[in-house]
Structure 1
Amino acid sequence: MSVRLAVPRVLLSGIVGSTAYGLARPGSDVDRLGIYAVPTEQLHGLHPPIQSHVFTEPDRTIHEAAKWCRLALGGNPTVMELVWLPEDLYEVRTPLGDELISLRSSFLSAKRVRDAYLGYATQQFRRLETRGDGSFSADTRKRTAKHARHLKRLCHQGLELYTTGRLTIEVEDPQAYHDFGDQVAADSEAARPLLAEYEAAFDANRSVLPNQPDEAAVEAWLLRVRAHFYRPGTTS
C-alpha cells in the first residue's frame, strides 16, 4: 500500500525495516524511509533547512539528500538499505532516485562498513547486556528479542557487504532469527558467541571494497540534484 508523503520533492522512498527483512509478524509496524531535496535557494539563506522529517502512524523518516549522503558515506546501515531494496518495496522512484541506486557502490568502503555494521551490532549487544537474567516483563522480553534479531541481521548483512560488495535485504531463514531472538530473550549471554563469531569472520576475510568511498561520484549526483531544484527568485 502506497502512502502519500507530507514532504515535497521526494526522490526515493520505500518500505524498510522488519517488512523488508522478512521478519515482520502480525502487528509489526511498517517502516518507511525516503530522501527528499530542499529547494536549492534555501541552502543560501540565514537559516539552514530541516535535514530530516520523522513521522509516526505510519512510521516514516525522510532525510534531505545531503544528509542521507553523509550518513551513507559513513556506512550507516539504516540508511544504506534504501538503495538495496527489492523492486516491489519502492513506493516513490524518480530519475534522480534511480541514479542514486545506480551509484550505491560508490558509498562503500571497507573500514566504514566494518565499523558501522559491527558497531551497530555491538550497540544492540550492550542493550541486551543491561537486561539482566531474563526475569523481566513480557514487553521487555519482546524488545530484547527484537534487538537480538537486529544484532544477528546486522552481523550477517555487514559481512556480506564487506566480502561481496552486495547487500541482500531479506534474510534467508527468518525463523532462525526469531529463534535466536527468543533464545537471547531468555539469556542475553547467548548473543555473545554470535558477535564474537562475526568479529572473527571480519578479521579472517578480505574485503572487496575500496579503502575510501567514491565521494566525487556522490558529490556529482548531489550537484545534479541542486541544479534540478534551482529556481531563481523562489524559496519553496
Structure 2
Amino acid sequence: MNNQVTPVNVEYGDPSIALPNEILRSVVGSGVHGIAIAGTDDHDEMGVYIEPPEYVLGVRKHRDDYIWRTQPEGARSGPGDTDLVLYSLAKYLRLAIKGNPTVMLPLFAPEESLVKVTPLGEELRALRSSFLSRQAVERFLGYMHSQHERMLGQSKRNVPNRPELIAKHGWDVKYGSHALRLAHQGYEIASAGRLTLPMPDVERERVLAVKRGEVPRDEVSAEIGRLEAAVRDLLDSGRCPLPAGADVEAISAWAISAQRRHWGW
C-alpha cells in the first residue's frame, strides 16, 4: 500500500475576488532583474487587484491579498516552482510608498516581464516616479543589509538554508548576489532617481558572476560596503535628487479615481 501523501498547493485569499479584478501583474525575482540562471531559480509573479466597493467601504474585514504556491506549506520553492502574490490596491500602494524593493518591481518591469496589464495598470506604471524617494533608498539599503548578513552567516533569523550552495562554494552565493544587486540598485536610485530593469549590463554581469560562485565572498562583501558608503554619501550630502518621501497626494488621488472607474462610478 502506498501511504505517500501528494503535496498540495498553498492558496490563501479569494481567487474569485483577486483574479477577475487584476490590473497589473509581472514577473519578479531574478527573472525581472536579468540574473536568473536556468535550472536554479523558481518563478515569482506579483500583481495588483482592485477590491469590490463593499470590501473597501464596508465594515467587515477581508483578506487583502491572494497567495498561490506550487510547494506545500513550509517547503522551500526550487527550480520549476511558482510563487504568486497579488495585493489589493490599497495594500500594494502602502507597501510601494514605503519603498519596498520587491513590491516596486511591477512598476519598473520591462514589457516582456508583464503577465497582465490593463489600462488602469498602465496608469499605475506611469506613476512609477512618484514612488521613488530617499525613504525608498533607505529601504533598499535595509534589505541589502539583511541579505548581506545572511550571506555572511550572521543573521539570527530563521532563514532558508541552501546547503547545496554552501557545499559547492563554501558560502551562500545566492544571498551574496541579492545583496550586491540591492546595493547597485540603491545606488542607481540615489544617484540617478531611476530603477533600470533588467539591470544594466555591467552590473548584471557582475551579479551573475557572484551568483555563479566566481567571486570570493570577502571581495563581494567589500564591494557591497563600498556601494553602501557611496549611497550614504549621496544621502547625507544632499546630492540625491529625490524627495524625502513618495508623492502620496498624487498616488492617493489616482487611487481614488482608479477605484471609482473600476467600479463604474
TM tier relative to shorter chain: 0.7 to 0.9
Unaligned residue ranges in structure 1 (runs of 5+): 1-5
Q: Identify unmatched segments of 5+ residues in structure 2.
A: 1-14, 71-81, 156-161
Question: Which one has the bigger helix percentage?
Answer: 1
Alignment of structure 1 residues 60-99 onto 2, 5 Å: 60-99=84-123
Query: Is 2:159 the counterpart of 1:138?
Result: no
SS at match of 1:219: helix
DSSP-derived class of the 2:172 partner: helix
The letter of the residue matching 1:211 is A
How far has the Cα of 1:231 moved from its partner? 6.8
- Matched to 1:19, the amino acid is G
Is 1:9 matched up with 2:21? yes
Identify the match of residue 221 of structure 1 among 248, 254, 257: 254
Separation (CA, whole Å) in 2 of partners of 1:129 and 1:207: 29
3-state SS of the aligned residue for 2:177? helix
The offset of 1:183, in angstroms, is: 5.3
Q: CA RMSD in A?
A: 2.5
Q: How does 1:1-236 map to 2 (within 5 A)?
A: 6=15, 7-27=19-39, 28-57=41-70, 58-110=82-134, 112-130=135-153, 137-140=163-166, 144-171=172-199, 172-173=201-202, 174-181=204-211, 182=213, 187=217, 189-205=218-234, 206-230=239-263
Q: How many positions carry a matched residue from both structures? A: 222
Instruction: Kindly indicate whether structure 1 or structure 2 has the higher relative contact order, using CA contacts under 8 Å at least 6 residues apart.
Output: 1
Contact 2:186–2:231 (CA under 8 A) maintained in structure 1: no
Give SS of 2:150's match: helix
Contact in 2 for aligned 1:155/1:198 (Cα 8 Å): yes
Matched residues in 2 for 1:213 and 1:175: separation? 31
| Deviation sequence 1:160-199 (CA, Å, 0-9, x none) | 1121121112122444213223257x64x44431222012
CA 1:175/1:231 → structure 2, altered by over 3 Å: closer, same or farther? closer
Q: Is the contact between residue 36 and residue 64 of structure 1 (CA under 8 Å) also seen in structure 2?
A: yes
User: For residue 8 of structure 2, what is the aligned residue in structure 1?
Assistant: none
Give the TM-score normalised by structure 2.
Answer: 0.76
Aligned residues: percent identity? 32
